[in-house]
Amino acid sequence: MPLRSIRVVDLSRYAPGPYCTMLLADLGADVIAVEEPPGRGRRVDEAMGVDARTKAFLPFGRNKRSIVLDLKKQPMREVFFRLVERADVVVEGFRPGVAKRLGVDYEAARARNPRIVYCSISGFGQTGPLADLVGHDLSYISVAGALASIGTAGGPPAIPLNVLGDFAGGGLFAAFSILAALLARARTGRGQYIDLAMTDGVLSLLSLAAAEYFATGRVPERGRYYLAGGLPCYNVYETADGRWLAVACMEPWFWKNLCEALGRPDLSSEQFNRERFGELFDFLRAKFKEKTRDEWFAELRDREVCVAPVYQLDEALDSQHARARGMVTAVEHPAFGEIRQVGIAPKFSETPG
């Protein structure tokens, strides 16, 4: 396993940090999750309807060891530092300043282990005018400018699943940054501090839209930006069974193939003609209502047309493709028996997770 010699001490609580360390653990890192004393997170769990059985299905604790430490108590902090002395990485997700108040910040960890890579994941970063602002995924994608561009024209911003801020801008960027810092340490012999703001991560994910804004001054509008519902050739269409088909014919040859498959080859030259967008939308919306989603996909998948069924999550998890890719795995839980979880995304030829 590629990270089998790496030890990580995880102080984080909510999704971004545990997701980051789950990715590291899946690839062989020895992750020790430092948990709060029992009961401190119970009120949040109860309010969200998260019981013990539901928690068992959460993947964030897999492949990890755990220890309960009350970091407000000096003897427990000393246990933490003994872990740090034998570790390569520390991950924390406290609000800025909290780790220092607890006495478990980077400077304190570095004093015990100069080679430590210490990653702080926060919503808005350790510096800047918003550093002390409380928030969650919705807050981060709002401030980063992503939420304003998601949704239908004339409608309110559409709240997506918490994948942009928490997981992509947060956990995934943190894991990537930690691995880069470990490579740097292999050259220099020194650890370092990583200030990972989820808003910064989301802004980085918006690089393409930002480049267009810098070049033209145009701000992406909900439902009108070309990659967010503004083009007939790159959109979703309801089918006869009330399901949806994704059409992503951005390249002219894919669009030409679609027009021919739908019996309208004359429209192939009108792909980006805004004066005919209304007509194109009307045609495609009416046409795709003639058959079910799966009928359309079966008919078009071998025609070199960029279309895909819009799956509900249960369909995606139960799909032949997900099973073939090993993206759903079953593990044995001591209290609840066999439980299913999402598998490991990257497939390594020599060092599988």
pLDDT digits (tens, 9 = 90+) for 87-121: 999 999 999 999 999 999 999 999 999 999 999 99
pLDDT of residue 44: 52
- Please, what are the domains in the chain? 7-205 (3.40.50.10540), 234-310 (3.30.1540.10)
Catalytic residue among 26, 30, 88, 166: 166
Contact (Cβ atoms closer than 8 angstroms) between residue 122 and residue 198: yes
The pTM of the full predicted model, rounded to 2 decimals, is 0.90
pLDDT band at 32 (very low <50, low <70, confident <90, very high): very high
Q: Is 136 a catalytic residue?
A: yes
Residue 57: predicted pLDDT:
56
Does position 67 have pLDDT exceeding 90, yes or no?
A: yes
From the candidates 136, 266, 321, 333, which is the catalytic residue? 136
What count of other Cβ atoms lies within 10 Å of the Cβ of residue 197? 26
